[in-house]
Amino acid sequence: MDAATAPEHDQRVEIRIQCLCIDTVDPARIAGFWQSALGWRRTFEEEDQICLEPPPGSPEDGIVPDLIFLKVPEGKTVKNRLHLDLRPADQSAEVARLRALGASQVSIGQGDVSWVVMADPDGNEFDVLQPLAPHELPPGHDALGRRITARP
């Protein structure tokens, strides 16, 4: 793309990411893991497709992309090219909770890092980050980096 056809950086683009699609041989099983892991709700379910969305009225509702689990005939064979980074309030407690739900800690050659690399029951890698330190938080945000809104 040349400068004449490239969009301006400050130009508003009328598009958004609606969902992140995850291929799986068993949508019900893997959607169940992520539903429990994130505390999200099922908003659509068929044998070959399940959609998860954040809880209604949560700060993420209508903002973050939905997760859609699509049935495919083949299992996962290589490292993910795209993964989720989860930001908990307590990293070690969250890692333990996710293990209890069926996740496992994995090594993908990451070395000594501040995050924990895990895999869901299908083997899809994801990271559990450390909580944001107080000095890393923008004004008006909680420990998870979410904007704090006044309650009526």
Fold of 17-74: 3.30.720
Helix (H/G/I), strand (E/B), else coil: 60: coil
**How does strand 116-119 pair with strand 66-71?**
unpaired
pTM summary value: 0.82
CATH 3.30.720.120 residue ranges in the chain? 17-74
pLDDT in tens, the chain (152 residues): 555 565 566 688 888 899 999 999 999 999 999 999 999 999 999 999 999 999 999 888 989 999 999 999 998 888 888 999 999 999 999 999 999 999 999 998 888 999 999 999 999 999 999 998 888 887 887 777 677 776 55
Q: What is the rounded end-to-end Cα distance, in angstroms, of the chain?
A: 48
Fold of 82-152: 2,3-Dihydroxybiphenyl 1,2-Dioxygenase; domain 1 (3.10.180)
Tokens read off for 77:
């064979």
CATH 3.10.180.10 residue ranges in the chain? 82-152
**How does strand 49-53 pair with strand 19-24?**
unpaired
